Amino acid sequence: MLVTPKGWTGPKIVDGKPVEGSWRSHQVPIPDVRTDDEHRRLFESWMKSYRPEELFDASGALAVELRALAPRGVRRMSANPHANGGSLLRDLIVPDFRAYAVEVPEPGTVTAESTRAVGCLLRDILATNRDNFRVFGPDETTSNRLDAVFEVTDRTSMAAVLPTDESVGPDGRVMEVLSEHMCQGLLEGYLLTGRHGFFSCYEAFTHIVDSMFNQHAKWLKVARCLPWRRPIASLTYLLTSHVWRQDNNGFSHQDPGFIDHFINKKADVVRVYLPPDANTLLAISDHCLRSRNYVNVIVAGKQPELQWLDIEAAIEHCRKGLGIWHWASTDAGAEPDIVMACAGDVPTLETLAAVEFLRSIFPALKIRVVNVVDLMALEPSTVHPHGLDDPEFDSIFTKDRPVIFAFHGYPTLIHRLTYRRTNHDNFHVHGYKEEGTTTTPFRMAVLNELDRYHLAGDAINRLPVSAECAADVRRRIDETLAEHKRYIESFGDDPPEIKDWRWHAHPVL
């Protein structure tokens, strides 16, 4: 081991103060050399102490014998393949994700834990890619319903394994440590050296690595401009245990704003997906795991929730990124009276329940339901490669009809993405507004006005409905919400008409 003084061989004393061997050598060691003659003399004698005449030839080039010392070709430090991980990258072997599909005979009639399906996919990827794939997460693999992975591997631990431990061992390929910083750092290193990974994290606590994500995204932006840098596997986050399910946690665990932070980075690097159910989550996960040079964020629930699309419909929906759900709409392909849009699992549920409620009051109302999986599809095509062009966007969201948009995150994010669109002035976004704490899923939605009744009430405000009729519906809504509140406060659970609500197919007009 060689220990040297800080700033060794630099100036010893400047202006009577020690520099070499002190903190000052970390600053500008000799300031103002252009204007201070004494400093310039000192600077010159320091530079000359390296005897440049022995190091460089008359033309200023490095001396031939010194140049010869540098290693050549792949022996150069910069040519170490681990520093250009893409050159070592092998494709991940991903089984056909259709095999993990949840059976959905009719939309909105069966429930499943969406992340559990991904857990099975990850298990089989772990089993078939034993040396270049790992799963990362802060002690939440089981809580996030990914525990199928423990059928084929363990959590990594180099410490002694106790008899009471389960799924813990030195060869485990699940990196579980209650430090989002460590998970992120380990995963970045793993990707940068040519391997693949998957990071599952509580949504609110992904902010812990905001700054680390920044640096990785910036690295990817710059790396894209260097032709010799080979693409690396994408960094994929699964944000679950999200803001809308606070059955056991509370206000401290509510922050859907990682995606706000995330999309400030370059459009050619960042991707955001909000699959509303298990099959869309499978299709998106497959896509993300195969991708290169991106940072992907997937937001998805882990709780049992209604399923909407069978696997083929899910694939088609995810391919487009967003689209009209004709089976839930009553506009029969004509210009609708209103668009009910949604992004995220809980907003999708509440939107469909709002549609059913509206349908029951106004059977002739032409409602269009739009679901958004790929958030970047909302942006203009000139801003993000996934963005819809304006005519296509207008054909879905209309040019002049009210759009009630139920969004998973902070409402302003939707405005930020859509403010240049023709119909933006008619976008009315509901989302999280920092209300609610440990409570039932429905109460969380109500407190933030994202629930079916607030959505339906907002729709009625925007429709040409008689004042009398609107007042009547609003009274019904207020009474229903008051009744639910009483039930929830008495029983600590959502009322059966909410909990057991199912989508009822209706004849397409």
| Between 317 and 428, CB nearer to a second copy | 428
CB of 383 to a second copy, least distance (A): 10
Which of 336, 326, 462 shows the shortest CA–CA distance to 399?
Answer: 336
| Between 264 and 466, CB nearer to a second copy | 264
- How far apart, in whole angstroms, are the C-alpha atoms of residue 16 and residue 143? 62
User: What token pair was written down for 101?
Assistant: 């599909």
Q: How far is CA 444 from CA 307, 437, 448, in A?
A: 20, 7, 7
CB of 189 to a second copy, least distance (A): 17
Which of 385, 466, 393, 476 shows the shortest CA–CA distance to 427?
Answer: 393
For residues 224 and 266, is the Cβ–Cβ distance under 8 A? no
Q: How many CB atoms lie within 10 A of CB 270?
A: 22
| Between 34 and 75, CB nearer to a second copy | 34
What b/e string do you get for 279-309 counting C-beta neighbours within 10 Å, with b at 16 or more? bbbbbbbbbbbebebbbbbbbbbbbebbbbb
Q: Which residues does 63 contact at the CB level (< 8 Å), separation at least 6?
A: 54, 55, 56, 57
CB of 395 to a second copy, least distance (A): 21
CB of 336 to a second copy, least distance (A): 23
CB of 205 to a second copy, least distance (A): 6
| Between 121 and 243, CB nearer to a second copy | 243
Which of 260, 272, 306, 307 shows the shortest CA–CA distance to 441?
Answer: 306
Which of 254, 374, 292 shows the shortest CA–CA distance to 91?
Answer: 292
| Between 82 and 218, CB nearer to a second copy | 218
CB of 29 to a second copy, least distance (A): 14
Q: How far is CA 329 from CA 19, 364, 386, in A?
A: 75, 12, 25
| Between 218 and 292, CB nearer to a second copy | 218
- How far apart, in whole angstroms, are the C-alpha atoms of residue 321 and residue 445? 25
- How far apart, in whole angstroms, are the C-alpha atoms of residue 306 and residue 145? 16
CB of 313 to a second copy, least distance (A): 33
Which of 366, 392, 367 shows the shortest CA–CA distance to 379?
Answer: 392
| Between 28 and 505, CB nearer to a second copy | 28
CB of 357 to a second copy, least distance (A): 27
For residues 376 and 368, is the Cβ–Cβ distance under 8 A? no
CB of 246 to a second copy, least distance (A): 13
For residues 17 and 4, is the Cβ–Cβ distance under 8 A? no
Q: What is the DSSP string of 19-48?
A: -TTSGGGGS-SS--TTT-HHHHHHHHHHHH
| Between 49 and 215, CB nearer to a second copy | 215
CB of 76 to a second copy, least distance (A): 24
Handedness of CA 491, 492, 498, 501 (dihedral sign): negative
Give the footprint of a second copy on this chain (CB under 8 A): 17-18, 21-24, 162, 164-165, 204-205, 207-208, 210-211, 214-215, 218, 221-222, 251-252, 255, 257, 260-261, 264-266, 410, 412, 415-416, 419, 424, 434
| Between 56 and 419, CB nearer to a second copy | 419
| Between 163 and 507, CB nearer to a second copy | 163
CB of 14 to a second copy, least distance (A): 12
| Between 6 and 504, CB nearer to a second copy | 6
